[in-house]
Amino acid sequence: MPKPDSPPLLTAGIHRMTLPELEQLAVSPFPDDDQRQRLFLLFQQWVSNLQTKYVSAILWIDGPIGADYLAFSTMVRVPRVLWS
């Protein structure tokens, strides 16, 4: 018999949060989940790389984030910049 899905950690919709808040919600409560820890570390490195390049953007994260899984895709929206 397949294992039932765990409930999502967030309700459907848009939730504004910082990376530390996302980590507290989706990573810290699962200290034995090495894959989750690794995925979030890679994600943090990717965001840090954008920041070192002074990319100012809105980051959208979409995907299932539950007690049994952490998978997401991202979209970066860079505001239009007018050059003179």
Is residue 42 within 8 Å of residue 32, measured between CB atoms? Answer: no
pLDDT per residue rounded down to tens, the chain (84 residues): 555 567 778 888 888 888 899 899 889 998 998 988 998 899 899 889 888 887 777 778 777 666 666 666 777 766 665 444
CB-based contacts of 8: which residues, under 8 Å, 6+ apart? 64, 65, 66
Indicate the burial class of 72 (C-beta count within 10 angstroms; 0-12, 13-18, 19 or more): middle
Is residue 61 within 8 Å of residue 9, measured between CB atoms? Answer: no
> What are the tokens at 39?
């995925």
β-pairing verdict for 73-77 and 58-62: antiparallel
pTM: 0.73
- Residue spans of the domains in the chain: they are 19-77
